[in-house]
């Protein structure tokens, strides 16, 4: 170690002072023990300094044993707290954005479902009215019911016979169908019977079409081009056209004019 040179010089200097009287007894020109030690240090270290000259510590490097005392690189507690705070703020912003997207998506999906229900309702009503058939209904009391009947009671809006009832299974039944639209507590419902006569003996197929309605109304155009709200033109008489009005809570009044093709 380079530090040993300074220690040897100090020890030699102290020893020389302690045995100064003995130095005079040695032969002139012969190196003393202290000088031999200094000469040895000069040769091994290549440092030519005098006996009493202190060696500057700035010219020496620290040994490897002291490297573990150097400051280690890393994050302080304050830096970690700041990083955690920034992460928490970013997470809160991300969660807020995600919740907004989910809420918007749910609202849009609900609107899509309501619009699809409205389109399905209009499709069923237009298809049924276009295929009106002049076929009255035979009741259990041996009387005939009109092919088209309106305002039967406070619930039933319109009831009629329609053609074009599909029969993919080839069952023994007519292609005619009895259809009824009724409105109750803001809900429009479609009921159908595959048989025309004696409806009291058969159970209808019920389908909920549309809700959130304020009202539903029908107007029928007779042969004199006059609109009628109650059809009393004859047992087998059909209107020329039917006007449908749906009063929806969200979309307001929706009107459709449907021509009747006849049978």
For the residues 98-112, what does the mean pLDDT come to?
Answer: 84
The percent of residues above 70 in pLDDT, for the chain, comes to 71
Q: What share of the chain is helix, strand, coil (3-state, %, to 5)?
A: 40, 25, 40
Helices (H), 157-252: none
Instruction: Provide CB contacts within 8 A for 47, sequence distance 6+.
Output: 5, 41, 55
| Cross-strand partners of 150 | 158
Asked whether the beta carbons of 156 and 148 are under 8 A apart, the reply is no
Rg (CA), the chain: 55
164: region left, alpha or beta (phi > 0 left; psi from -120 to 50 alpha): left
String of b and e for 194-211 (b: at least 16 CB within 10 Å)? bebbebeeeeeeeeebbe
Q: Please say if the pLDDT value at position 246 is more than 80.
A: yes
Q: What is the DSSP letter of 53?
A: P
Distances (CA, A) of 257 to 86, 145, 168, 221, 248: 62, 25, 30, 10, 17
Q: Please say if the pLDDT value at position 11 is more than 90.
A: no
pLDDT at 61: 52
For the residues 62-90, what does the mean pLDDT come to?
Answer: 74
pLDDT at 63: 54
Q: What is the DSSP letter of 69?
A: G
Backbone angles phi, psi at 197, to 5 degrees: -95, 155
| Size of the chain, expressed as the number of residues it contains | 263
d(Cα 235, Cα 137) in Å, to the nearest integer? 9
Mean pLDDT of the chain: 76
């Amino acid at each position: 170690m380079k530090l040993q040179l300074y220690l040897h010089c100090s020890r030699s200097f102290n020893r020389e002072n302690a045995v100064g009287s003995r130095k005079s007894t040695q032969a002139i020109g012969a190196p003393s023990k202290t000088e031999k030690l200094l000469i040895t240090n000069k040769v091994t270290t290549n440092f030519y300094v005098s006996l009493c000259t202190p060696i500057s510590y700035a010219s020496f490097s620290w040994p490897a044993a002291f490297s573990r005392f150097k400051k280690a690189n890393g994050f302080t507690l304050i830096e970690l707290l700041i990083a955690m705070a920034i992460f928490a703020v970013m997470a809160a912003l991300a969660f807020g954005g995600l919740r907004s997207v989910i809420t918007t998506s749910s609202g849009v999906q609900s609107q899509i479902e309501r619009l699809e229900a409205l389109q399905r309702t209009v499709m069923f009503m237009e298809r049924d009215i276009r295929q009106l058939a002049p076929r009255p209904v035979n009741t259990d009391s041996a009387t005939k019911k009109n092919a088209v009947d309106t305002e039967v009671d406070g619930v039933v809006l319109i009831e009629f016979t329609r053609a074009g009832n599909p029969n993919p299974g080839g069952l023994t039944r007519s292609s005619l169908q009895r259809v009824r639209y009724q409105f109750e507590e803001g809900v429009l419902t479609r009921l159908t019977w595959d048989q025309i006569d004696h409806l009291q003996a058969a159970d209808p197929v019920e389908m909920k079409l549309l809700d959130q309605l304020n009202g539903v109304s029908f107007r029928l155009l007779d042969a004199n081009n006059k609109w009628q709200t109650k059809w009393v033109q004859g047992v087998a008489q059909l209107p020329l056209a039917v006007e449908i009005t749906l009063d929806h809570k969200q979309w307001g009044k929706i009107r459709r004019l449907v021509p009747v093709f006849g049978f």
